[in-house]
Amino acid sequence: MSEQVILIFGASGIIGRALVQNLSNASGCRVLAASRRPEESLSHNVVPYTVDLNDLKSANFEPLASVTHVVYTAYVDKPTWEEQRQPNTDMFRHALEIIVEACPNLSHVTLLQGTKAYGAHLGPFKTPAKESDPRILNGYFYDDQFDIMVDQARKANWTWTVLRPHVVIGPAFRSPLNLITVLGVYCSLLKVQGRPLVFPGPTAAFNALYQATDAGLLSRAISWSGRSSDAADEVFNITNGDYFRWRYIWPKIAASFDMEMGGTEQVDLECAMRGMEPLWRELSTTHDLVIDNLSELVSWSFANYVFGTTWDVMSDSTKIRRHGFHEMLDSEKMFMDRLDQLRVLKVIPS
């Protein structure tokens, strides 16, 4: 089999970083890890590639001539769902402009979306959500990206896959929209103050069904999507394959931090955590943590969104298994393992 050359847009984020790690030292592939601030290469087959998708004039197209596969994980956050639409659509359009111009050997594109395709961010929606469900009223930038991609694929004769995870869990530095880091930092700040681990959302959110996608599992699904003909031109939900309620995981999280279990209390974390930067810097110095700037670690508005979801969030993940990707994970164990990983990486105190 000929060598795969994989261009990953958004390589320094949660998903991109996990994929880079998964492909590090893998035989038969080379990786171009693209972002505005690339991390140093992790292995001999990974090359950092600097690109700003809002400034294509600065892009160096020469390294891209041999690219065979593209994975798009880039995302820009904005205060409202409506404000997110145009910049994320434009960034993806610019990425495809690069592909068309610089990647004559391209055969496949994998686009990462999520359960916002089903309106999971807007309130109660049909569950379990299936890939065949109609688009939500007024749409989301996922729809715009999808239409642009499919149109270009027809013209250029390459295939595509869309993957829809929910709340990707994995280590990433300076990626504030990262639930496991939010959890780790939140617990660490409460613990150092001698406070119990209160669930910072309404009781309905504490009891609702929820789901998550481990970053490692997702990275392996991405690799599968680029190799398998059964994944060509298909949309797949991809989660750990199970569901959970925070009410049953929360005591385990408290125990992992040796904290007293608190109850539920709806808290605006943006307000409650305001002024915690000096305390975090003190923790960072005491425990030799890798990041002492709290704003680079967590987005409290993202935490408000996750812990304020009072409706069930459930994706049907049977389609991807029918097409050949069978991996599943226990979400409770994932949370414990990933928190331990943050301690080892010195993202949070051990």
Q: What is the pLDDT along the chain (350 residues), one digit of tens a residue?
A: 578 999 999 998 889 989 998 898 888 899 999 998 877 766 789 999 999 998 888 788 999 999 999 999 999 999 999 999 999 999 999 999 999 999 999 999 999 999 999 999 999 999 999 999 999 999 999 999 999 999 999 999 999 999 999 999 998 766 778 999 999 999 999 999 999 999 999 999 999 999 999 999 999 999 999 999 999 999 999 999 999 999 999 999 999 999 999 999 999 999 999 999 999 999 999 999 999 999 989 999 999 999 999 999 999 999 999 999 999 999 999 999 999 999 999 999 99
194 falls within a domain: yes
| pTM given for the model | 0.95
Structure tokens of 347? 């993202």
76 falls within a domain: yes
Contact assessment for residue 97 and residue 89, using Cβ atoms and an 8 Å cutoff: no
CA distance linking residue 137 with residue 124, whole number of Å: 14
Its domain, for residue 271, covers 175-211+243-314+325-344
- pLDDT (0 to 100) of residue 1: 52
Structure tokens of 283? 């923790």
Look up the CATH number of the domain holding residue 62: 3.40.50.720
Same domain, residue pair 101 and 199: no
Coil, strand, or helix at residue 32? strand
- pLDDT (0 to 100) of residue 2: 74
CA distance linking residue 36 with residue 33, whole number of Å: 10
Where a domain ends, among 203, 237, 271? 237
Same domain, residue pair 90 and 144: yes
DSSP string, 87-121: HHHHHHHHHHHHHHHH-TT--EEEEE--GGGGTTT
Residue 233's φ and ψ, nearest 5 degrees, are 60, 40
Same domain, residue pair 52 and 140: yes
